Amino acid sequence: MSGAERVIVTCALTGAQQGKEANPNLPLTPAEIVAQGLEAWRAGAAILHLHARDPAGRPSADPAIFAAIVSGLREAGCDAVLNLSTGGAVAGIPLDERLAVVTELRPEIASLSAGGGVLLGRFDERRGAWAGDRFVPLFGSHAELERAARLFADCGVRPELEVYHAGQLNTVRALHARGLLAEPPLVNLVMGIPGECTEPTVRNLAFLVDQLPAGAVWLASAIGARHHFRMLGAAVAMGGQVRVGLEDNVYMARGELAASNGQVVAKAVRIIRELGFEPAAPDHARAALELEGGDG
């Protein structure tokens, strides 16, 4: 199937929320993250989305920890595109600290939330109370977000714009219209987080995709076991890219915890191939995104 269409698989190895209480196989230390990153890359992930944790397992924006992960992957021969997170707002890490990986490490890609904030939580009918009820501030103004976008541009780092609901696409289009986004814009449509986040349905995904700037490369991240792999098929059929990994979903199937990120990527690749596509190699991803190389 050398002539098959290619799909870029991103693997989000670990995040800024769950720990080993959710799945003991979730990688936390740099060594664990490197080991699972290598496995995910070998299984077919062209892009690795990286968060960092401190020695106590707490979310961290320390560039030195990110650098240790990056060097560990590169020294092992991994040529995947590395996407470093500037997230961590949910963990309360200040914005300036989160942006330090952009200025100090200058990766090929880094995440950039595209909005003011999101109200999270769901009403637990059994308990009669709200669960996970909190507001996560992202940017306090359009001007602050524009400064962050300019910082990415000045450092030659491609932003992966994290979009949690349709209103944030107004911001993406505004940044694009002002020439603040390198071509092609890269947008991650995050669906399924309880609260002010788009429900993961095919109809909603089609609506979001229709609102993107012309020529944008997009991927879909469906959070949680119920929708994680189902929405993958919809994204591929609609011409999008996909994201999987233990940051977004710790299960392989109902009631079955994933053994590793590599196992999750392998399942995603099987689905992609059943649909008549092939996983993209890192070099293909770089060409599709017009990246120039990075990692400092």
- pLDDT for 158-179, tens place per residue? 999 999 999 999 999 999 999 9
pLDDT band at 2 (very low <50, low <70, confident <90, very high): very low
State residue 1's pLDDT score.
35
Query: Averaged over 243-258, what is the pLDDT?
Result: 97
pLDDT digits 0-9 by tens, 285-294: 999 999 986 5
State residue 295's pLDDT score.
64
Round the CA-based radius of gyration of the chain to a whole number and report it: 18
10 Å Cβ neighbour count for 238? 13
Query: Averaged over 212-229, what is the pLDDT?
Result: 97
pLDDT digits 0-9 by tens, 119-138: 999 999 999 999 999 999 99
Residue with more model confidence, 31 or 88: 31
Query: Averaged over 200-227, what is the pLDDT?
Result: 97
Q: How far is CA 139 from CA 94, 110, 136, in A?
A: 11, 16, 10
- Contact by Cβ (8 Å): 130, 122: yes
pLDDT beyond 90 at 261: yes
Q: What mean pLDDT is reported for the chain?
A: 95
Task: Please calculate the CA angle 100-291-193 and round it to the nearest 5 degrees.
Answer: 60
pLDDT digits 0-9 by tens, 35-86: 999 999 999 999 999 999 999 999 999 999 999 999 999 999 999 999 999 9
pLDDT beyond 90 at 296: no
Here the tokens at position 217 are: 């490369």
pLDDT beyond 50 at 200: yes
Q: What's the chain look like in SS3?
A: CCCCCEECEEEECCCCCCCCCCCCCCCCCHHHHHHHHHHHHHHCCCEEEECEECCCCCEECCHHHHHHHHHHHHHCCCCCEEEECCCCHHHCCCHHHHCHHHHHHCCCEEEEECCCEEEEEEEECCCCEEEEEEEEECCCCHHHHHHHHHHHHHHCCEEEEEECCCCHHHHHHHHHHCCCCCCCCEEEEEECCCECCCCCCHHHHHHHHHCCCCCCEEEEEECCCCCCCHHHHHHHHCCCEEEECCCCCCEEECCEECCCHHHHHHHHHHHHHHCCCEECCHHHHHHHHCCCCCCC
> Which CATH superfamily is 6-289 part of?
Aldolase class I (3.20.20.70)
